[in-house]
Amino acid sequence: MSVNAKNELSGSHAGSNQAPVSEQNGAFGFGADILMAGNKSKGKRPYFFNSEETERVLNIAMAAAAEVAVIRERLDTIERLLESKGLLKQSEIEAYEPDDKAAEERQLWHARFAARLLRIIQQEIEAVAKPEENKPMQQIADEINEM
Amino acid sequence: MQYQLPPVWTKLYRHAVFPEFSHDERARYNFLANLNRFISTVIAPGNQIAFQNRVKPAFEKEKGRTFANRHEVAEAMSKDPVYQSWAALRRCTMEMRQQNGRAVVMRQAKELADKVKQYAGDNLILKKNFKVPEYLRHVDNHLMPGSYHTSYFEGDVSNAANYDSGLFVTSGGMLGSLTDGGGKAIAKWVKEYYPDFRPKKILDIGCGLGHNTLPLAEAFPDAEVIGIDAGEPMLRYGAARANALGVKNVKFIQMDAEDMSEFEDETFDWVQTTMFLHETGGKAIHKIMKEIGRVLKKGGLCLHIEQPQYTPDMSYYEQFMRDWDAYYNAEPYWGHMHDLQPEDLMAECGIPKERFMQIGVKAVNDLDTQKKDDKITEDYGRTPIWNVFGGWK
Ligand SMILES: C[S@@+](CC[C@H](N)C(=O)[O-])C[C@H]1O[C@@H](n2cnc3c(N)ncnc32)[C@H](O)[C@@H]1O
């Protein structure tokens, strides 16, 4: 196959060999390929947990876990490439100790990350702690109607 | 138990029509292969433990008797938390595998079609008004949307390319770098046990994209090998793949195995099916047997690689576990088919009981780093040890 033929067929991203393939437009138009990728197969989906909600969350969590693994593998590639180019040794990464400022910034990042992950539980606790701010929206609407 | 890592995805041999994978896409498959390995070796054995230690005792205490069939086991197990976690995770990874594989091939569907065109040769016969068997259209086998037969545009092979690239994940890399461990194993076995057998014409029914067809053609280079299948993308991709791999003595023909009237009586020295019969239908399987009996030469060999049948000495627990893929990996005929006795099926294609044979064959895996015969954890329906039955007509 000639390079030209390939470029013609690959349309909008022709020649853009540098661009990460994952960001290219698919054959079915932008965004359509990932939706097709996720199409449901024929037949009713079985749920195994007693609550479908739990299983739904499990599926979302596993997809997120997959992406963490993907990032980890990419990072590993970067580290190894840097090492092979003599820019960095993996042992330097292992031995790295942040100075005070860096350490604090990183801890803050972790704290924020943890807070994002567990937001819903924080809010459930706040609901119990402040019942006066936890009225049903219908009730609030009715109350506002009188204000 | 020693924890065995699956081979990394990059060990797969990428022939010329194989889809391109980005770094992240490869990583997704690596993640899933490892997840599956963990689920099958660490979590799955928990089912047996839960069954023995609490599900069975509780059932027996309540009913004053033990299980009467696999359906009762299924009902009791469905309430067990270990089973629930295992099943939910297994289903989840299968859906993820489909989504990931489809995302890879869909974005490059045009390029794939183009590559396949480039490697097209005279080893492919497609039929204009081919009618895909009703039972195939009725379900998306292996939870593959569109199953084996759907093309999304003229010349599209995405479903086949997805199948090709993803079996590695489902099997944890145990089928070798070309996913051909089954075909290689059967070719090796036949050569070992029947060194004088020189088949001139071999038919592989339900050949798919030819994973297990090519090893037969390579093992018997003087034979003419014909693979038939109902799935257009599978055949298109398979024929191009065979060309890309330089295997010349194989042809792919679109044909419904229920009606092989294109072939004269007694055409083939060897009729093979691999992981095919359990994906047919309750009426179709008998028509197919009859057709096999017709096209097979007298004195010819007929072999079927399948999952084990359910026999009276197989525990209800094992039957239940083996049933799992039937319902939850969308291979719905599997459960019913395994109630049939293979001797009876073979009798239908002209192989008398006294010439019936049944053996177990382990997949030949060139990626097996351990190189020794490790004990394999049974992963009902996914373990690369196959039940082969058949005989000489
Ligand atoms: C699980 S695949 C097995 C593929 C192949 N034998 C292998 O081992 O890789 C089953 C195949 O059988 C084909 N099939 C099912 N029923 C068929 C029929 N009646 N005629 C032809 N092919 C059929 C499907 O299209 C599918 O490709």
What pLDDT sits at residue A113? 75
Written as six digits, the tokens of B117 are 């065109």
Does residue B127 have a pLDDT over 80? yes
What pLDDT sits at residue A23? 42
Mean of pLDDT over chain A:
78
Q: Which of B355, B13, B369 is nearest to B177 (CA)?
A: B13
Interface of B with A in 59-118 (CB under 8 A): 78, 83-85, 87-89, 91-93, 95-96, 98-103, 106-111, 114-115, 118
Does residue B25 have a pLDDT over 60? yes
- Dihedral sign from CA coordinates of A92, A97, A98, A103: positive
Average pLDDT (A59-64) is: 93
The complex's ipTM works out to 0.76
The closest residue, in CA terms, to atom 16 on ligand 1 is B280
Which 3-state string (H, E, C) describes B221-239? CCCEEEEEECCHHHHHHHH
Q: Smallest CA–CA separation between A70 and chain B, in Å?
A: 5
Euclidean distance between CA atoms B246 and B257, whole angstroms: 27
Does residue A7 have a pLDDT over 70? no
Residue position matching structure tokens 């029509």: B17
Indicate the pTM of the whole model: 0.85
Interface of B with A in 190-229 (CB under 8 A): none
- B179-231 tens-digit pLDDT: 999 899 999 999 999 999 999 999 999 999 999 999 999 999 999 999 999 99
- B147-169 tens-digit pLDDT: 999 999 999 999 999 999 998 88
Interface of A with B in 6-25 (CB under 8 A): 6, 9-11, 20-22, 24-25
Residue of B nearest to A46 (CA): B328
Specify the range with the lowest mean pLDDT, choosing from A108-117, B104-113, B269-278: A108-117
3-state secondary structure of B372: coil
The atom of ligand 1 lying closest to the CA of B149 is 25
- B231-248 tens-digit pLDDT: 999 999 999 999 999 999
Q: Which residues of B touch A46 (CB under 8 A)?
A: 87, 91, 327-328
In one-letter notation, the amino acid at residue A32 is: A
Written as six digits, the tokens of B226 are 């014909």
Average pLDDT (B119-141) is: 95
What pLDDT sits at residue B331? 83
The atom of ligand 1 lying closest to the CA of B141 is 1
What pLDDT sits at residue B215? 97
Picking from A33, A47, A55, the nearest residue to B107 by CB comes out as A33
> Is the pLDDT higher at A57 or at A94?
A57
DSSP symbol at B52:
I
Specify the range with the lowest mean pLDDT, choosing from B116-125, B187-196, B334-343: B334-343
The closest residue, in CA terms, to atom 12 on ligand 1 is B206
Average pLDDT (B31-44) is: 87
Helices and strands (H, E) in chain B, number of each type = 15, 8
User: Where are the domains positioned within chain B?
Assistant: 1-393
Q: Which residues of B touch A74 (CB under 8 A)?
A: 23-24, 27
- Dihedral sign from CA coordinates of B42, B48, B52, B55: positive
Specify the range with the lowest mean pLDDT, choosing from A112-116, B124-128, B181-185, B328-332: A112-116
The atom of ligand 1 lying closest to the CA of B234 is 27
The atom of ligand 1 lying closest to the CA of B256 is 20
**Residues, chain B:** 393
Give ∠ CA A38-A43-A44 in degrees, rounded to 5. Answer: 90
What proportion of chain B, given as a percentage, has pLDDT over 90?
A: 71
Fold held by B1-393? Rossmann fold (3.40.50)
B388 touches chain A (CB under 8 A): no
Residue of B nearest to A2 (CA): B118
